[in-house]
Structure 1
Amino acid sequence: MRKRSRFKLLTYLAVAGLITLLVIFAFNSTVLWPSLPKKTPTPKNLHDVISPSTYRFILNQPELCENKSPFLVLMIPVTINGREARTAIRKTWGQYGLIPGVNILHLFIIGQPAQSDPVLQEHLERESKEYGDIIQMDFVDSYHNLTIKTMMMMNWIATYCQGAWYTMKIDADVFLNVRYLVDYLHDQGESSRKDYITGSVISDAVPHRESFNKWYIPEDLYPGTWYPPYVSGAAYVFSTDLARKISWASRFVRPIPLEDVYVGMCLHVLGVKPFYATRFLGLRNLFEVRRLDYERCTFSKRIVVNGFKPQNLLHIWHDFQKSEFTC
């Protein structure tokens, strides 16, 4: 009887593993989606909304990647009044020299407020001179302009830092396990150096048609029934060659105010499918976009965890770096 029970258990585990593999395949399969769309140029007046040529730099760091090939560039969208978040990041996962022998840069991407604030602007310029990690352009910084912000980020990487191996877009309220990320990318090998993007893949999203919804998209802006697969905008990593390619694809994709969905639409034009970052047969999502209570062993097995205020981030980082850390 024991042997029979053990056989049944092994059979159940094998079936469960097979189902999990099929689910992972579904997440990453282009079979679920229609053939690539025809490349019809977006009308100029619409493309100009997200075109880098429409905007100018107020602050820039064009020399940051000169004669360098960083392993990873962290691009962090923040607002002009996010000084506390920037300080916390510089003291935690954004600090220089965190991993010996691995060149990692960080940059804060900022627009300008709808209402001019000369005092805040003066403080930002002083901060930029002190740290050399701020890029600011003259688009209006708002939730609905995050697509513009993302395309400015792509253009900056494609223009000033093509030699970087990887780029990561990461929000300021996210915990980043830098060492785990570096090890994970090294494990991917050469296959991740071209047309590669990974994160928490969303492959079953539909447009919200209710006007009161935060993510409302009217049919005349996006008539499709489903969105193509995309990575959650909280944090995702991509091979740097994609920055130029996504910028090019944007010429054929009408802008929408959902920046992560928009990047997914550009990937669809390119025929690039996002890769879902998991471990242990897909049971552990390495890009955790939901809020988790801090626990060192749990966080040590994730690349990112979403949703922390600056003071929380500092506290978590201090505990996470303890030398006696074991799991």
Structure 2
Amino acid sequence: MASPQNVTVEQMRNILSEVINTLESPDYASKLDEAKEAAGNEMLKMMQLVFPMVVQIEMETIKRHGFTSSREGIVQFTQLFHSGHVFVGWLVFLYHRIKTTKMRRKRVYQLCVCSCVLTYIYYFFGVSDYLFSKSFENNFDYPLNIDIKPIVKEVLGGQKASVTPINYYPYRFLTNSGKCSTLDRLDLFIVVKSAMNHFEQRSAIRQTFGKEGIVPGKMIKTLFFLGVGTSLQTDTQHKIEKEMATYKDIIQIDFLDTYFNNTIKTMMSLRWLYEHCSTSDYYLFTDDDMYISVKNLLDYVHSASEGDRQLYVGYVFKSIPQRFRSSKWRVSLEEYPWDSWPPYVTAGAFVLTNKSMRFMYAGSLFVKHFRFDDIYLGIVAKKVGIEPVHCPKFHFYKKKYSREGYRNVIASHGYGNKEELIKVWTEQNEGALAI
């Protein structure tokens, strides 16, 4: 039996040969053929369909050679496989076997696949991150590692919090708005998270779902929230200042407006609402490339939020962290050590009731910052005891348009083109623009 601490090239060859023999057995050969046929030439599907089967066989095989039967065993095996002398020796072995044609072509292919699988697992998939992540169901304790619900009630009750807040964003509102200052109550407040140079998108929203008075008898207000660039002396900033003077509907905040600062934009907009506009029944948060039907939205929330329900609704995801080393969305174990995310609503468009808005903001003061805004809100929601509600009328992807197909749509992603948004919205809301 091989010793995991002192494996040789010959022992590694024997182990991988056993793996190949298993792959060639009748039970597995047909399953792998079906998986390869389903994957075709797409690498992503290969990773989803073929690689997991090979990994499972490898795990079952290495147990017989002294490696642990737990999931950490394959990590130890891949580490040894990629250690200098073993990996080089394995490549030399493959080269000579192929050169002397003593190995059938199919077997060479299978050995190469096994090697590639191990390489992909170890280097590109961040296998150790996946395997050593903690159980979300059993061990989730995102900081603060306490029950924050009683503390949130203290804050909302006007009392001094018994625990010091750990998360307060040190940014200033460079502009303000009096849209809520004279109103005792709003039906809906629309928060549009916009990028600095998205002038066309803001213009389209002002002409469509952000136009005040579009739903008779309902009090609806809209504001755009922006960050700043590296300099306040740019053409873009000057155009924004003219836009603010004209429409008076932009709140600009002095944080750098970049993709990974979206959490700051979302939470600063929540702070503004908490401090300046806590009188609305509902709050819609939306990106500036969304189609929104305000009428459908109000119809839905009125039926879904009876009483004082803490509604947090939109397109709900249940997924795991991305550990691929080459990914823009990679999250390390140091940043987030658990094996899955809490349920969260995609940040493209979501709705909070008044009570949820206040609980989410107060709770965020005691929840460590995270750079993805939708994930962070999902964490805060879990910490304060609000369960996200999935509504199929919110579309994370762009729903293909048809007049009838959009009758019940609340939100759809992918409307960054001004003319397209106006055209679709006008067709679905005939007569609204004339109000």
Q: TM-score range by the shorter chain?
A: 0.7 to 0.9
Distance 1:84 1:168 in 2: 21
- Give the paired residue count: 278
SS of corresponding position for 1:111: strand
1:139-187: per-residue Cα shift (whole Å, max 9, x none)? 0000000011111011111111111101011111110111111111222
Q: Paired residue for 1:215?
A: 329
Q: Paired residue for 1:273?
A: 387
Counterpart pick for 2:428 among 312, 315, 320: 320
Q: Paired residue for 1:179?
A: 295
Q: 1:33 to 1:299 in 2, by over 3 A?
A: farther
- 1:311 paired with 2:311, answer no
Please identify, of 32-41 and 146-155, the stretch whose mean Cα deviation from structure 2 is larger. 32-41
SS of corresponding position for 2:423: helix
- 1:111 paired with 2:227, answer yes
SS of corresponding position for 2:314: strand
| One-letter amino acid of the structure 2 residue matched with residue 186 of structure 1 | H
Q: Paired residue for 1:76?
A: 192
Counterpart pick for 2:212 among 74, 82, 96: 96
- Conserved 8 A contact 2:144-2:368: no
1:233-273: per-residue Cα shift (whole Å, max 9, x none)? 11000112222322222233222211001000001111110
Structure 1 unaligned residues grouped into runs of 5+ = 1-31, 278-284
Q: 1:39 to 1:133 in 2, by over 3 A?
A: same
Please identify, of 140-149 and 116-125, the stretch whose mean Cα deviation from structure 2 is larger. 116-125
Distance 2:402 2:367 in 1: 41
What is the alpha-carbon root mean square deviation over aligned residues?
A: 2.4
Q: 1:242 to 1:321 in 2, by over 3 A?
A: closer
Q: Paired residue for 1:15?
A: none
Counterpart pick for 1:195 among 292, 302, 310: 310
Distance 1:35 1:275 in 2: 23
| One-letter amino acid of the structure 2 residue matched with residue 153 of structure 1 | S
Please identify, of 217-226 and 240-249, the stretch whose mean Cα deviation from structure 2 is larger. 240-249
**Alpha-carbon deviation of 1:39?**
3.9
Q: Paired residue for 1:245?
A: 359
SS of corresponding position for 2:283: strand
Q: Paired residue for 1:3?
A: none
Structure number with the higher helix fraction is 2
Q: 1:258 to 1:298 in 2, by over 3 A?
A: same
| One-letter amino acid of the structure 2 residue matched with residue 302 of structure 1 | V
Distance 2:229 2:376 in 1: 23
| One-letter amino acid of the structure 1 residue matched with residue 311 of structure 2 | Y
Q: Which has the higher contact order (CA 8 A, sep 6+)?
A: 1
Structure number with the higher strand fraction is 1
Distance 2:179 2:420 in 1: 33
Q: Paired residue for 1:227?
A: 341
**Alpha-carbon deviation of 1:33?**
4.7
Distance 1:83 1:169 in 2: 18
Structure 2 unaligned residues grouped into runs of 5+ = 1-135, 149-164
- Which structure has the bigger radius of gyration? 2
Q: Paired residue for 1:131?
A: 247
Please identify, of 293-302 and 96-105, the stretch whose mean Cα deviation from structure 2 is larger. 293-302
**Alpha-carbon deviation of 1:40?**
3.5
The percentage of aligned residue pairs carrying the same residue is 29
